[in-house]
């Protein structure tokens, strides 16, 4: 199988050669800008990897892979507007540079461009793959809406949270893998198993992210720890803590959540101490491991020799072993 880095380089080269119209410049310049900001190109690379796994022609999967990347970046443009975020990958966000209206419209045209790229698959697969892509796109939008809804709610259940991250994050991984598998010649059963692998892997990865945001080493994690605590983000750890806390612990936790004027370091330390008292890290790690096991079980069931699937297993292991 081709290695992940080789596939990422193929994607980078294809993005650089992607033909995007020049006019109106105010519509298309933001599209070129957001695609030029880089990123790991993980989702399109996984689509190519899935195609390669089943012996397919990676070149035949390149346009659909680009479609996944364009769609992903479309969601980032609109998410940044909804979050009023000033930076994306260390650079000004699209709406900061060109204004909110331009950000909305450029995002809209990216969604159309994504469909145009996805439609370049062979006619015999077109209807099936467009159906997978559309269901994936709807799922991502549903996940974003749920995430926004949770910001306004005091109480969110663990099952609700897991469903939200499945939709917002994981279905795009699963969808990319399933599309790549189908282009590579997989039957529907194997393609669905690969989808399940990606879906559960994505959930496990997000849970790991929740854990590392509190307990990670910032030099190894790649960002400041405690950001979720300071912003009162409803992560698995916070939801579980509120579920398990006694009256005194819940009162202290809610005081920190409701406080408008606080010392950041003091808040992070205090909330982390409450998490430690309630053992929420262990609960989160158990949930993460459960979904990782489900991912590997789905991978094991795919009707290919074990050695062919080994690189995907290595990839998943590497994704879920980030130093903290």
Q: What is the pLDDT of residues 123-178, one digit of tens each?
A: 999 999 999 999 999 999 999 999 999 998 889 999 999 999 999 999 999 999 99
Check pLDDT > 90 for residue 324. Answer: no
pLDDT in the model for residue 220: 66
The pLDDT > 90 percentage for the chain reads 88
Please write the tens of the pLDDT for every residue from 195-209: 999 999 999 999 999
Contacts of 233 (CB under 8 A, 6+ apart): 227
Which CB contacts under 8 angstroms, 24+ apart, belong to 133-138? 133/67, 133/71, 133/175, 133/179, 135/171, 135/175, 136/171, 136/172, 136/174, 136/175, 137/71, 137/111
Please write the tens of the pLDDT for every residue from 51-86: 999 999 999 999 999 999 999 999 999 999 998 999
Please write the tens of the pLDDT for every residue from 244-283: 999 999 999 999 999 999 999 999 999 999 999 999 999 9
pLDDT in the model for residue 322: 57
Note whether 303 and 286 are within 8 A (CB): no
pLDDT in the model for residue 318: 87
Structure tokens at 150: 């949770």
Average pLDDT, rounded, for the chain: 94
Q: What is the pTM of this model?
A: 0.94
pLDDT in the model for residue 319: 84
pLDDT grade for 241, boundaries at 50, 70 and 90 = very high
Check pLDDT > 90 for residue 48. Answer: yes
The pLDDT > 70 percentage for the chain reads 97
Check pLDDT > 80 for residue 223. Answer: no
pLDDT grade for 225, boundaries at 50, 70 and 90 = confident
pLDDT in the model for residue 251: 97
Please write the tens of the pLDDT for every residue from 182-195: 999 999 999 999 99
Sign of CA dihedral 206, 210, 213, 217: negative
Block residue for tokens 């994607």: 11
pLDDT in the model for residue 321: 76
């Amino acid at each position: 199988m081709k290695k992940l880095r080789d596939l990422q380089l193929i994607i980078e080269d294809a993005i650089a050669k992607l033909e995007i119209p020049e006019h109106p410049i105010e519509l298309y310049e933001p599209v070129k800008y957001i695609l030029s900001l880089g990123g790991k190109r993980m989702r399109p690379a996984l689509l190519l990897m899935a195609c390669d796994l089943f012996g397919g022609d990676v070149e035949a999967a390149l346009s659909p892979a680009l479609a996944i990347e364009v769609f992903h970046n479309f969601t980032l443009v609109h998410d940044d507007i909804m979050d009023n975020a000033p930076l994306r990958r260390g650079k000004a966000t699209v709406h900061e540079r060109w204004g909110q209206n331009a950000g909305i419209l450029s995002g809209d045209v990216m969604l159309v461009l994504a469909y145009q790229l996805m439609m370049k698959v062979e006619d015999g697969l077109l209807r099936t793959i467009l159906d997978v892509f559309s269901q994936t796109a709807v799922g991502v939008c549903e996940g974003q809406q749920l995430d926004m809804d949770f910001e306004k709610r005091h109480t969110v259940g663990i099952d609700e949270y897991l469903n939200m991250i499945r939709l917002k994050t994981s279905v795009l991984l699963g969808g990319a893998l399933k599309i790549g598998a189908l282009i590579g010649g997989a039957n529907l059963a194997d393609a669905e198993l690969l989808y399940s692998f990606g879906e559960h892997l994505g959930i496990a990865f997000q849970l790991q992210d929740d854990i590392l945001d509190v307990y990670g080493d910032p030099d190894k994690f790649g960002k400041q720890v405690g950001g979720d605590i300071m912003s009162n983000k409803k992560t698995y750890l916070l939801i579980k803590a509120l579920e398990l806390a006694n009256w005194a612990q819940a009162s202290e936790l809610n005081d920190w959540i409701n406080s408008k004027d606080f010392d950041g370091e003091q808040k992070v330390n205090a909330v982390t101490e409450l998490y430690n008292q309630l053992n929420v890290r262990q609960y989160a790690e158990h949930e993460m491991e459960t979904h990782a096991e489900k991912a590997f079980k789905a991978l094991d069931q795919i009707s290919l020799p074990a050695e062919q699937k080994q690189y995907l297993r290595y990839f998943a292991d590497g994704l879920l072993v980030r130093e903290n």
